[in-house]
Amino acid sequence: MDTTNLKLSPLDPETAHNSYVVQAGDPFVLEIAKGQFVRIVDLEGNQAVDTIFYNARDYSDRYSAQDTIREQSNIYLTTETRLLSTNGNLLLTIVADTCGRHDTLGGACAAESNMVRYDLGKRYMHACRNSFLKGLQLWNHGMEKKDITSNINFFMNVPVTSEGQLTFEDGVSDAGKYVELQADMDVLMVISNCPQLNNPCNGYNPTPVQILVWEANV
């Protein structure tokens, strides 16, 4: 793990404007205003947090893994990474990170991928795409399955082999590690707190995470 981009945040959790706990496997949806800070905390360690960001004023403009990777010339995300949208807008910037790196290539687990990767019987296990869809339905602003786009897997460890293959390995996060972002425009954050039990991304034990939000003028 590259530790050169580790950075502590000066923000005190006690002064957060809002605090939420997202249970393992649950969706979470929150609109974040321009300038606000949002921190995702891995409460127990080794948890994967699948996350999609949308332009809150135009949901067709959403996080682009391709543009973000190209802009920073790095397949992993960490401090100072600028998250770009499909229209080239700057959505958020990672301003603090105590984990070291985050994945944006591995995608989100789905019933279909569980079946293909692991076993036919795994098809009926809960998956992140189910949580994303449930979150969009609960948000009830006209988005549906086709609006589930490329995502970030915060805290997830997905090394790329010399042959260009992705592998899912034990996480690189520990209890209390966090990643913090500042919104560069009004954004919608949709989280699936991953329920995956078939690979080591969650240590075979999905756990809760905490979401903290601070106002822009802290």
pTM for the whole thing?
0.92
71-102 pLDDT per residue, tens: 999 999 999 999 999 999 999 999 999 999 99
Tell the burial category of 165 from Cβ atoms under 10 Å away from its Cβ (0-12, 13-18, 19+).
exposed
Distance CA(25)–CA(124), nearest Å, equals 14
What is the mean pLDDT of the segment spanning 146-166?
A: 84
7-54 pLDDT per residue, tens: 999 999 999 999 999 999 999 999 999 999 999 999 999 999 999 999
Res. 163: pLDDT tops 80: no
Computed over every residue of the chain, the mean pLDDT equals: 89
What is the mean pLDDT of the segment spanning 202-215?
A: 93
Distance CA(148)–CA(136), nearest Å, equals 9
Distance CA(128)–CA(189), nearest Å, equals 14
Question: Phi and psi of 115, rounded to 5°?
Answer: -65, -45
Q: Nearest 5°: CA angle at 208, between 203 and 212?
A: 130
